[in-house]
Structure 1
Amino acid sequence: MEHKVNSEKSSSELISELEYPKKPNVIKYLNDLTLKQKQDFFDSFDLIFCDCDGVIWQTLHELLPGSPEAIDYLKRQGKEVIYVTNNSLSPIDMQLKKFERLGIEVKKNEIVHPAQTICDHLKSIQFDGLIFCLTSEAFKSQLREAGFNVMEELVGYVETLDDLRALINNDDPVKAVIIDGDFNLTASKLMRAHGYLKNNPECLFIGGAADILFTVGGNELMGAGIFISMLENTTQRKALVLGKPGVGLRDFIMDKHKIKNARRCLFIGDSIVSDIRFANVCGFQTLLVLTGSTTPEDLKSKLTEADTPDYVSECLADLNGFLS
């Protein structure tokens, strides 16, 4: 199946230019609903998109209690569950083993993963050319396994301008620059990517996970979205972002899952920006859980319409036996 997406919007335009469906700026807490309200909520969706880190498990792989049971309950109630992750450091095969170890039955096509989504997009446009990656090795491996030609890692120490010129100037026929989480990112890599994108208007500019910030072990860290925006600013080009919260990912999901009525979908996530804003752009109903990057204090601040979830719950486990 081909999944062609609109490449005209950048990750930043996702927030600033698109219209969000109008809805009351009032948050409902699941545990405060009456039984009738719970039933109405449960009957209002068929398809669930569920984040993983901070929802099913902590980023450092600690299972959040009751999550497998909640997912099992949802499936037994006839709900379809799709998992949407920005964690491309863990390849899909590794994530499948993790789900299995936790007792959650998941098929490969039920995981939306930045590297896989980008592979699917490149195949849909019959891409054939050299790729320069600012990504993890796991991400590059997935591209190579899909049959794409990925440039080898840059090696070199820069001390002088001559060193820099030797490292970033070359005639490699790069036809795509892909940026995702790269913990070994350097200024010289960014400069080289800038050169490919600036000097060749036909060179594709693709982003994966576009988090501005993400949380690991309670620590807030800079995400790849910062560097995607840097390259957008320096090249005056817009990235096609195929990870949360990218418009490209929205188009991909809508096409792949043949979604006709977005309000019949529920997105469960822990991040106001990566999950709730993204889901609101998609037109999905939203459930924010407080086991990840968002705290109860965050909800007391003045939230915009784009940031406001429809529902809030302490944890995913609250959905286990929801109607009993």
Structure 2
Amino acid sequence: MAGAFGFKGCQKIRGPQIRSLLEAKDFFLFDCDGVIWHGEKAITGAAKVVNALIRQGKNVVFVTNNCTRPRENYVHKFCRLGFTDVMLEQIFSSSYCSALYLRDVVKVRGQVFVIGCDGLRRELLEAGIPCVEEADDPDATIYNCALAPDVKAVLVGHDDKLTFLKLAKASCYLRDPDCLFLATDNDPWHPLSGGRILPGSGSLTAALEVASGRKATVIGKPSRFMFECISSQFRGVDPAQCLMVGDRLEVDMLFGSNCGLDTMLTLTGVSQIEEAQEYRNSDLSTNHSLVPDYVVDTIADFLPAFEELEEQSN
């Protein structure tokens, strides 16, 4: 579809081009952090865009690698920030998709050892997946702690209470070649205010990969599995009718490319257009998968196109 508009390849689009894109696509996939909101503040105009898409009958879903909260908490946040039409079924987090993978794909029969926040555990438990209970003494070490029996999978997500003991236990479980090694996502870091960063799930996964000598199966973006989850729950999803909107080239744009979707980079988050242009001009063909089809300053750039469409229908 991008080629049909004649401006594929990291070009900024506006007004009439955005309107044509809105008319051509049936499914809109949005990342959340950096696209829809920053922390507890919605991107200006984002709520109007999302609500307008839904009311026009477009299919809108949210694909986020943030595994720290269950989906019901996302619904509350969307509502709190003015996204009044968003429902639970539209939210696909890496924690929810990890639960589906364990329950429906590998059909795990046993306990899962989780390195992650309570939100990740809650998503697993809601899917009926038993998690290893952490009940170690404060002074316990890997030399004298108990190891749970029947651990069939280790799942790594964001964990702001990571301890050396958790890492050591996970390494022990993964010595069993039949124990699955999964990661919610491989995001390396997340931006904070004041120029600080927060290590992401990918950094924790990397530590465990070194310790275990194994590679994790990644569930979240840029893996195709999140799109397979969407396709299984929404009938008639055609990749050619989808647009993936995100703010990270190495995550969101690569995810879209892996799934055969057109991609749009919004400049309100991590990646900027200069990085995309470098990938576009790279001699490495693998870098071309990181190049967005379209670029906008913010998804609020959709708003004039909506106004034009409404004028045409009146």
Equivalent residue runs for 1:95-174 within 5 Å: 95-104=74-83, 105-124=85-104, 125-153=106-134, 155=136, 163-167=141-145, 170=147, 172-174=149-151
Partner of 1:71: 50
| Matched AA of 1:83 | F
Alignment partners' CA distance in 2, 1:204 and 1:24:
43
How many angstroms does 1:271 deviate by? Answer: 1.0
Alignment partners' CA distance in 1, 2:261 and 2:46:
21
CA offsets, 1:230-265, max 9 Å, x none? 433443434232212224334433444456631210
Contact 2:8–2:294 at 8 Å: present in 1 too? no
5+ unaligned residues in a row in structure 1: which ranges?
Answer: 1-20
Partner of 1:53: 33
Alignment partners' CA distance in 2, 1:148 and 1:38:
43
Partner of 1:211: 187
How many angstroms does 1:45 deviate by? Answer: 1.5
Partner of 1:15: none
Contact 2:92–2:226 at 8 Å: present in 1 too? no
Aligned to 1:210, the other structure's residue is in SS state: coil
Aligned to 1:322, the other structure's residue is in SS state: helix
How many angstroms does 1:281 deviate by? Answer: 0.9
| Matched AA of 1:208 | T
Partner of 1:7: none
Equivalent residue runs for 1:21-32 within 5 Å: 26-31=9-14
CA offsets, 1:90-147, max 9 Å, x none? 2211111111122321111110012221222222144331111101122112322333
How many angstroms does 1:61 deviate by? Answer: 1.4
Q: Taking CA–CA contacts closer than 8 Å with sequence separation of 6 or more, which of the two structures ends up with the larger relative contact order?
A: 1
Alignment partners' CA distance in 1, 2:215 and 2:225:
11
Note the aligned Cα RMSD (angstroms).
2.6
How many angstroms does 1:291 deviate by? Answer: 0.8
CA offsets, 1:291-311, max 9 Å, x none? 111234434534420211011
Partner of 2:284: none
Alignment partners' CA distance in 2, 1:135 and 1:75:
33
Q: Aligned in 2, Cα 1:237/1:269: closer, same or farther, shift over 3 Å? A: same
Aligned to 1:89, the other structure's residue is in SS state: coil
Contact 2:10–2:277 at 8 Å: present in 1 too? no
Contact 1:47–1:79 at 8 Å: present in 2 too? yes
Alignment partners' CA distance in 2, 1:205 and 1:314:
38
- After TM superposition, the score normalised by the length of structure 1 is 0.81
How many angstroms does 1:69 deviate by? Answer: 0.6
Contact 1:114–1:208 at 8 Å: present in 2 too? yes
Alignment partners' CA distance in 2, 1:258 and 1:194:
40
Partner of 2:283: none
Alignment partners' CA distance in 2, 1:259 and 1:166:
54
Identity %: 30
Partner of 2:160: 183
Runs of 4+ in 1 over 6 A off after TM superposition: none
Partner of 1:18: none
How many angstroms does 1:64 deviate by? Answer: 1.1
Alignment partners' CA distance in 1, 2:301 and 2:93:
26
Contact 1:154–1:189 at 8 Å: present in 2 too? no
How many angstroms does 1:25 deviate by? Answer: 7.0
Total equivalences in the alignment: 294
Alignment partners' CA distance in 2, 1:193 and 1:259:
40
Partner of 2:267: 290
Contact 2:142–2:169 at 8 Å: present in 1 too? no
Alignment partners' CA distance in 2, 1:300 and 1:28:
9
Contact 1:134–1:185 at 8 Å: present in 2 too? yes
Alignment partners' CA distance in 1, 2:227 and 2:206:
19
